[in-house]
Copies of this chain bind each other. A is one copy, B any other.
Amino acid sequence: MTFNIVVLPGDGIGPEVTDEAVRVLEWFAQHRAIPLHLERRLFGSAAWTAEGSTMPDATWEAILAADALLFGATGSLDQTHIPPEERRKGSLLRIRKGLDVFANLRPVKAQPALAEASPFKARTVAGADLIFVRELTAGVYFGTPRGVETQADGTRRGVNTHSYTEAEIARAARFAFELARTRRGHVTSVDKANVMEAGRLWRDVVSEVHAAGYTDVTLEHMLADNCALQLGRAPTRFDVIVTDNLFGDLLSDCAGAINGSLGMLPSAALSAPDADGRRRALYEPVHGSAPDIAGKGIANPLGAILSAAMLLRWTAKAPAEADRLEKAVEAALASGARTADIAMPGEAVLSTRAMADAVISALEAN
Contacts and interface: CB of A to CB of B under 8 A. Distances in A.
Interface of A: 76-77, 93, 118-121, 124, 140-141, 143, 146-148, 151, 155-167, 192-202, 205, 223-226, 228-229, 231-234, 246-247, 249-254, 256-258, 260-262, 288
A254 B233 contact: no
A226 to B, nearest CB: 7
A330 B232 CA distance: 23
Given A151-B165, A158-B201, A225-B252, 7 more contacts: A77-B223, A140-B196, A159-B161, A159-B163, A224-B250, A225-B253, A229-B257
A158 B200 contact: yes
Contact of A146 (B155, B166, B197, B231): B197
24 contacts: A93-B195, A118-B121, A119-B232, A119-B233, A119-B234, A120-B121, A120-B232, A143-B159, A155-B167, A157-B166, A158-B163, A158-B164, A158-B165, A158-B199, A159-B162, A160-B199, A192-B249, A224-B249, A224-B250, A225-B250, A229-B254, A231-B257, A232-B258, A254-B254
A224 B249 CA distance: 9
A280 to B, nearest CB: 22
A318 B209 CA distance: 55
A200 B251 contact: no
B159 A155 contact: no
A148 B197 contact: yes
A154 B125 CA distance: 45
Contact of A194 (B76, B160, B193, B197): B76
A202 B193 CA distance: 25
A151 B143 CA distance: 16
Which of A155, A158, A159: most chain B Cβ within 10 A?
A: A158
Contacts of A226: 253, 288
A197 B160 contact: yes
A255 to B, nearest CB: 9
Contact of A160 (B198, B205, B251): B198
Contacts of A140: 140, 162, 195-196
A161 B161 contact: yes
Nearest to A194: B76
B229 A228 contact: no
A306 to B, nearest CB: 17
A167 B228 CA distance: 29
A53 B250 CA distance: 38
A210 B254 CA distance: 29
A22 to B, nearest CB: 26
A281 B253 CA distance: 33
B229 A251 contact: no
A148 B194 contact: no
Contacts of A155: 165-167
A246 B260 CA distance: 25
